[in-house]
């Protein structure tokens, strides 16, 4: 993983000092509320319903165990002893005190962490595949590109006051685990006809009030041009993106208004002026970035033997077998598997993890996975490099921590924003809905039988829970001051990305488990053999679901 | 005499602020874009860009213009950052002053994109603002003050 040098450290330390001064001036009344707002936002600090919320950056989801232990310590010292993993792979503290935030940032800086640009109208944390570097279907590792983008976008002087927030995702594998089609800019590493690796550039994707799938604006871009090309896109957006209406300010609206071809032409024009300039990446720069993402010291193992042994263990223990099947996946290297640690146990807010769990998990990562932990945009954690032979002991140690729920990719592994329990922008609560659904579907055999289903819940149109791209999406809406929930079906975040379709009129919170049950019953009755929910939906359309859900509700 | 920060120090300013109600702005007045476009002689002139104006109209006269004032009616509108940088990239060497309602916490960014003068509506803000020019001593990306990105300067 990337390691700071003196310059990185200096920049982050200077930021802490700058923010300390800004906080002091705000508390002394020298900075107005309005002026302090974007400054604190660009340092990840929101003022929420109950308290401030601090969003700590986890660049492209990578953490070492020293950082994890620091997060645990901070959550005890400055918060209530737990943190939340966000859908942008970041970590959120829900109860810090505003005057103490500079101290928290100083503590973070000591372990090469920060909260820079985790909020506000600027370029946000770049996200990628949580299995980057270990996935068997990977063309090339996206993380060096992410790191180069991180450095380029950190305190970018021209793009700190954009019309709206700006999110970039990078994917380097066959299946898209980074939802690149739902980002302001999505970058996919691809080969051209000559077999050279380059970037396919998508722009104008996004969720929120007007969900749009990104459009391809460049089929193949040589990696050395990545930063100048990004700069050209941002420059067009900064100058021409709408600033009069915050709901029309994202780049997706600009791309749509201009038309993809005109937008591409505008980008090419800006690009022509800066192409091959100093921001063109050098061989050295690319190699330097790549040098941080080399293999850990893997052992040479007999893959076939390891699989046999694992299969034997699984056949002896059905519960372990379930966990291996749902929560571990194939690794590029023989004898290893990647483990997803579920933060979706029934009865706990999705994505929350306590200080105790963090510390214990850090110990396990040191012991079993080269001291590294990854966050996922599905709000889980990953130990990417575990020997198959260690899975059973790891699983036994995860169980008492409540971290062995075997549901990754299944119904109860819901993506869920903090919603009305914490978030000042919410129309409705989201956590209780997730919990009620988890409680209703507590029969894991039934859940496994349903096959993989993405259920995504957002508490408002801002769509932090990515409800549009869930196979089943749930959105909190406000109906005359009452909390209601709209359901959409058929969204997908994969390369066949699609935006879910609204089922019909919204529902009361207490009806949501019943509604879910009807949707799932309909699926089960129409499903052909082992068909997945999404395939069935795509085959039969929304009508059968509509009929069933609303017929009985009337 | 009004004051501003120029090249890191506070000095007096001879330019009169832009005023779009004037039919005949004075020769030492900053012109609005439309006043400026009507000027027969652009040499030594001063022109103010508002968000939305873009730099295109100035490009033909970059060697004539003495001052470009980039106005910030509100500090959240960041179009001016691109204007300043584009002007410098296209070879403009005169003064670029930020005017209006930007805040001192933006000085690092403004000076990085090529602003060399800062005029606050409230002059008492000038003195304390000087400190904000020193907020950072290192940067990752290329900009006007440091045309080489860090990746070209790292050993
Ligand atoms: S989707 Fe809405 S309610 Fe949920 S976290 Fe985002 S802003 Fe808050």
Residue-level pLDDT at A551: 85
Would the pTM count as exceeding 0.90? yes
CA atoms within 13 A on the CB side of A308: 5
Determine if residue B143 is left, alpha or beta; phi over 0 gives left, psi from -120 to 50 gives alpha, anything else beta: beta
Q: Does the beta-carbon distance from A235 to B82 stay under 8 Å?
A: yes
3 state DSSP class of B20: coil
Determine if residue A379 is left, alpha or beta; phi over 0 gives left, psi from -120 to 50 gives alpha, anything else beta: left
Q: What is the dihedral of CA A322, A325, A327, A332, to 10 degrees?
A: 160
Element of type H or E holding A148: helix A143-153
Q: In the predicted model, is pLDDT for residue B100 greater than 80? A: yes
Chain B interface, Cβ < 8 Å to A? 51, 54, 75-79, 81-83, 85-86, 89-90, 103, 105-106, 108-110, 112-113, 135-143, 147-152, 154
Output the CATH code of domain B3-153: 3.40.50
Average pLDDT over residues A361-373: 98
A55 CA distance to ligand 1 middle (Å): 14
**Which of A206, A421, A426, when mutated, tests ligand 1's pocket best, judged by the most ligand atoms within 8 Å of its CB?**
A426
- Give residue-wise pLDDT tens across range A483-498: 999 999 999 988 788 8
8 A C-beta contact, residue A94 and residue A349: no
B89, B109, B148: residue with CB nearest A160: B109
Residue A50 confidence class, pLDDT cut points 50, 70, 90: low
Q: Does A244 touch chain B (CB under 8 A)?
A: no
* Three-state secondary structure readout of A445-514: HHHHHHCCCCEEEECCCCCCCCHHHCCEEEEEEEECCEEEEEEEECCECCCCCECCEECCCCEEHHHHHH
Q: From the candidates A4, A117, A158, A226, which should be mutated to test the interface with B, based on the most B CB atoms within 10 A?
A: A158
Q: At A541, phi and psi to the nearest 5?
A: 80, -175
Atom 2 (ligand 1): residue with closest C-alpha? A460
Per CATH, domain A415-553 is 3.30.413.10: yes
Average pLDDT over residues A452-475: 94
Q: Does A274 touch chain B (CB under 8 A)?
A: yes
B54, B79, B149: residue with CB nearest A279: B149
8 A C-beta contact, residue A138 and residue A332: yes
Which range has the worst mean pLDDT, A39-48, A56-65, A355-364?
Answer: A39-48
Under CATH, which architecture does the A135-290 domain have? 2-Layer Sandwich (3.30)
Average pLDDT over residues A514-536: 95
Q: Is the CB of A351 under 6 A from ligand 1?
A: no
ipTM reported for the complex, 2 dp? 0.96
Contacts of A11 in chain B (CB under 8 A): 136, 138-140
Q: In the predicted model, is pLDDT for residue A554 greater than 70? A: no
- Give residue-wise pLDDT tens across range A9-29: 999 999 999 999 999 999 999
Q: From the candidates B52, B82, B92, B101, which should be mutated to test the interface with A, based on the most A CB atoms within 10 A?
A: B82
Q: Considering only alpha carbons, which residue of chain A is nearest residue B79? A: A239
Q: Is the CB of A431 under 6 A from ligand 1?
A: no
A544 CA distance to ligand 1 middle (Å): 30
Q: Does the beta-carbon distance from A148 to B106 stay under 8 Å?
A: no
- Give residue-wise pLDDT tens across range B43-86: 999 999 999 999 999 999 999 999 999 999 999 999 999 999 99
Q: Does A12 touch chain B (CB under 8 A)?
A: no
A458 CA distance to ligand 1 middle (Å): 6
Q: At B64, phi and psi to the nearest 5?
A: -90, -35
Q: In the predicted model, is pLDDT for residue A552 greater than 70? A: no
**Which of A458, A476, A478, when mutated, tests ligand 1's pocket best, judged by the most ligand atoms within 8 Å of its CB?**
A458
Q: Is the CB of A428 under 6 A from ligand 1?
A: no
A130 closest CA partner among A71, A177, A79, A182: A177
Contacts of A18 in chain B (CB under 8 A): 105, 135-136
- Give residue-wise pLDDT tens across range A76-113: 999 999 999 998 899 999 889 999 999 999 999 999 99
- Give residue-wise pLDDT tens across range A136-190: 999 999 999 999 999 999 999 999 999 999 999 999 998 888 889 999 999 999 9
Q: Does the beta-carbon distance from A7 to B138 stay under 8 Å?
A: yes
Q: From the candidates A43, A114, A161, which should be mutated to test the interface with B, based on the most B CB atoms within 10 A?
A: A161
Q: Is the CB of A464 under 6 A from ligand 1?
A: yes
Q: Mean pLDDT of all residues in chain A? A: 94
Average pLDDT over residues A225-243: 97
A217 closest CA partner among A156, A166, A271: A271
Output the CATH code of domain A6-109: 3.90.480.20
Residue A49 confidence class, pLDDT cut points 50, 70, 90: low
Residue A263 confidence class, pLDDT cut points 50, 70, 90: very high
A328 closest CA partner among A297, A347, A307: A307
Structure tokens at A287: 């190699």
State what percent of residues in chain B have pLDDT above 90. Answer: 94
Structure tokens at A244: 């009069």
8 A C-beta contact, residue A90 and residue A376: no
A212 CA distance to ligand 1 middle (Å): 18
Do the first three CATH levels of A6-109 and A415-553 match, i.e. the same topology? no
Residue-level pLDDT at A553: 47
Contacts of A10 in chain B (CB under 8 A): 137-138
Residue A422 confidence class, pLDDT cut points 50, 70, 90: confident
Average pLDDT over residues A311-318: 96
Q: From the candidates B78, B84, B146, which should be mutated to test the interface with A, based on the most A CB atoms within 10 A?
A: B78
How many angstroms separate the CA atoms of A48 and A56, rounded?
15
3 state DSSP class of A120: coil
For residue B35, the distance in angstroms to the closest alpha carbon of chain A comes to 23
A150, A344, A439, A457, B112 from A512: Cα distances, Å:
40, 18, 12, 12, 53
A174 closest CA partner among A470, A495, A535: A495
Q: In the predicted model, is pLDDT for residue A127 greater than 60? A: yes
Task: Locate the domains of chain A by residue range.
Answer: 6-109, 135-290, 415-553
Average pLDDT over residues A335-353: 95
How many angstroms separate the CA atoms of A42 and A48, rounded?
15
């Amino acid at each position: 993983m990337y390691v700071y040098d003196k310059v990185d450290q200096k920049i982050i330390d200077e930021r802490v000092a700058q923010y300390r001064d800004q906080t002091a001036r705000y508390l002394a009344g020298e900075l107005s509320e309005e002026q302090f707002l974007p400054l604190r936002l660009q340092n990840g600090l929101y003022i929420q319903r109950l308290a401030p919320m601090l969003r700590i950056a986890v660049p492209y989801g990578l953490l070492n165990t020293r950082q994890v232990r620091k997060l645990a310590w901070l959550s005890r010292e400055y918060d209530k002893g737990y943190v939340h993993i966000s859908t942008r792979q970041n970590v959120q503290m829900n109860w810090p005190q505003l005057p103490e935030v500079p101290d928290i940032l100083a503590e973070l800086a000591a372990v090469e962490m920060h909260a820079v640009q985790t909020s506000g109208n600027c370029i946000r944390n770049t996200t990628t595949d949580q299995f980057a570097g270990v996935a068997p279907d990977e063309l090339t590792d996206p993380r060096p590109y992410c790191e180069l983008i991180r450095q380029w976008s950190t305190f970018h002087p021209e793009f700190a006051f954009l019309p709206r927030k700006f999110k970039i995702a990078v994917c380097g594998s066959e299946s898209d685990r980074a939802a690149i089609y739902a980002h302001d800019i999505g970058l996919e590493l691809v080969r051209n006809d000559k077999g050279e690796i380059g970037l396919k550039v998508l722009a104008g994707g996004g969720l929120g009030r007007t969900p749009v799938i990104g459009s391809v604006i460049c089929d193949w871009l040589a990696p050395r041009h990545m930063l100048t090309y990004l700069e050209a896109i941002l420059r067009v957006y900064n100058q021409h993106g709408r600033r009069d209406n915050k709901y029309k300010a994202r780049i997706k609206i600009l791309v749509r208004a201009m038309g993809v071809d005109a937008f591409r032409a505008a980008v090419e024009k800006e690009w022509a002026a800066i192409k091959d300039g100093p921001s063109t990446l050098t061989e050295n720069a690319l190699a330097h970035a790549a040098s941080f993402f080399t293999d850990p010291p893997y052992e040479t193992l007999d893959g076939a033997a390891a699989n046999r042994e694992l299969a034997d263990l699984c056949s002896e223990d059905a519960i372990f077998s379930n966990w291996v099947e749902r929560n571990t996946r194939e690794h590029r290297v023989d004898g290893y598997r990647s483990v997803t640690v579920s933060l979706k146990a029934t009865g706990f807010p999705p994505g929350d993890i306590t200080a105790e769990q963090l510390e214990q998990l850090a110990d396990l990562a040191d012991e079993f996975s080269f001291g590294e932990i990854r966050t996922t945009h599905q709000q889980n954690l990953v130990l990417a490099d575990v020997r198959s032979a260690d899975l059973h002991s790891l699983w036994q140690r995860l169980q008492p921590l409540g971290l062995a729920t075997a549901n990754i990719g299944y119904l109860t592994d819901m993506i869920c924003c903090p919603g009305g329990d914490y978030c000042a922008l919410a129309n409705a609560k989201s956590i209780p809905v997730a919990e009620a659904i988890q409680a209703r579907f507590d029969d894991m055999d039934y859940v496994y039988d349903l096959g993989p289903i993405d259920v995504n819940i957002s508490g408002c149109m801002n769509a932090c829970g990515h409800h549009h791209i869930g196979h089943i999406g749930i959105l909190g809406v406000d109906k005359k001051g009452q909390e209601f929930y709209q359901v959409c079906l058929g969204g997908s975040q994969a390369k066949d990305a699609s935006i879910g379709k609204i089922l019909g009129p919204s529902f009361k919170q207490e009806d949501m488990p019943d509604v879910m049950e009807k949707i799932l019953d309909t699926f089960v009755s129409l499903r052909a053999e082992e068909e997945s929910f999404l395939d069935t939906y795509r085959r039969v359309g929304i009508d059968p679901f509509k009929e069933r859900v609303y017929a009985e509700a009337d | 005499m009004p004051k501003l920060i120029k090249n890191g120090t506070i000095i007096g300013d001879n330019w009169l602020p832009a005023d779009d109600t004037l039919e005949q702005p004075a020769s030492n007045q900053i012109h609005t874009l439309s006043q400026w476009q009507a000027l027969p002689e652009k040499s030594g002139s001063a022109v103010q860009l508002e968000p939305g104006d873009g730099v295109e109209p100035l490009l033909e006269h970059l060697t004539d213009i003495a001052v470009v004032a980039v106005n910030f009616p509100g500090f959240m509108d960041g179009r001016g950052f691109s204007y300043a940088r584009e002007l410098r990239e296209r070879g403009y060497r005169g003064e670029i002053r930020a005017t209006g309602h930007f805040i001192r916490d933006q000085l690092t960014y403004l000076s990085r994109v090529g602003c060399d003068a800062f005029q606050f509506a409230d002059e008492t803000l000038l003195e304390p603002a000087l400190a904000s020019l020193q907020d950072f001593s290192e940067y990752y990306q290329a900009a006007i003050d440091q045309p080489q990105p860090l990746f070209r300067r790292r050993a």
